[in-house]
Amino acid sequence: MSLSDPIGDMLTRIRNANDAKHATVDIPASRVKVAITNILKKEGYIKNYETLTDGIKKTIRVTLKYSGKDRTQKALAGIKRISKPGLRVYAGSQEIPKVLGGLGVAIVSTPQGIITDREARKLGVGGEVLAFVW
């Protein structure tokens, strides 16, 4: 089945699994999704991820991060898709938004690759604002 917004589907799968307090979630793989997952791991929102191959089909298995014995505290409080296929959102190097005053992370697609808002400001580049994570 073809999806019109694969990044939105990925973020929704992670959000739903996190809300249901699942240990892992499987997502169809692509380079962009692996880059976004890598940022989520680097920023501490997920515990780990691995890329699985089953013949032709590639999958990313994301291990979600919780604290407490019964998964009472979620490391990922919220995740929101900003730029959508029907309404793309771009920001120049000076207009890159801060999420919750700098407590969260904006994921930005730039000519240097998919990076966080902090890295984009440091490099002085703008791009498409893909998602907010907090």
Is residue 1 in a domain? no
pLDDT score recorded for residue 2 = 55
Q: What CATH number is given to the structural domain containing 71?
A: 3.30.1490.10
Element (H, E) at 95: none
Is residue 89 in a domain? yes
Whether the CA torsion 90, 133, 19, 40 is positive or negative: it is positive
The low-confidence residues of the chain, meaning pLDDT below 70, are 1-2
pLDDT in tens, 89-124: 999 999 999 999 989 999 999 999 999 999 999 999
pLDDT score recorded for residue 1 = 44
89 to 26, 28, 32, 77, 129: CA distances (angstroms): 27, 24, 17, 23, 6
Overall number of domains in the chain: 1
Domain that holds residue 23: 6-133
